[in-house]
Amino acid sequence: MEAFLAPFSAAFATLFIVIDPIMVTPIFAALTKGDDAKGRLATAFAAALWSAGILGFFGVGGNVLLHHLGVSLDAFRAAMGIILFVMGYRMFFNPDAETQMKTPGPKAAARDNIAFFPLAMPMLAGPGGIATIMLMMGPSEPLPAKIAAFAAAIVVLAIAVLMMAFASRIGDVLGRTGMNAITRLLGMILMALSTQYIFDGVRQGVLNAV
């Protein structure tokens, strides 16, 4: 059981920060402003299903693609750490700009189905989430850790569905200041986690090269 719980906890913390359902909530509320509660819930479920499929596909097959490209997992780990650090930096120092980067153009709100774009990609299953799940489900990881990572992704997406279902209420309660405060806190944690990824990638790469 411990072989599952420890990687699950680590994967959940990282994926929750990277996927950031808190940041998705106000954007979802804006995109579904004219929908009723049933329509919002259906859109949220569809977006979560698309995201689970995308993350599952890259979690299982992404590392095979890296192998064919001749990219080592250690190099990918360090590169992912750099990407996540940049994301955390933006979240901490300019949360409004980070939210705007995930906000789609004006034409997106007029689409009949926004579950895949922009909700699933790039908001829920964006580059950061894809890179993270690929790392956590890498070939060097034991099977319980891989299952734990995907289970953590499903739990985070389930939380995202709940938050999107109550998007309008959450946004009203927290307000812009509250949303920015939470985003900054998550950004600080993400920078710390990404620094560890960079350190681990460089360290393992050097050891394997010796």
Q: List pLDDT tens digits, range 178-198.
A: 777 877 887 787 788 788 878
Kindly give the confidence (pLDDT) of every residue in the chain, 210 residues in length, as a single tens digit, with 9 standing for 90 and above. 777 888 999 999 999 988 888 878 877 876 776 678 888 899 999 999 999 999 999 999 988 887 888 887 778 778 878 877 887 788 788 766 655 554 555 444 444 478 888 788 878 987 778 888 988 998 888 999 999 999 999 999 999 999 898 877 766 677 777 777 877 887 787 788 788 878 988 888 888 776
Long-range pairs of 85-89 with CB within 8 A, sequence gap ≥ 24: 85/190, 85/191, 85/194, 85/195, 85/198, 87/18, 87/128, 87/187, 87/190, 87/194, 88/17, 88/186, 88/187, 88/188, 88/189, 88/190, 88/191, 88/193, 88/194, 89/187, 89/191
* Residue 6 domain flag: no
* Residue 133 domain flag: yes
Host domain of residue 55:
36-209
Total domains in the fold of the chain: 1
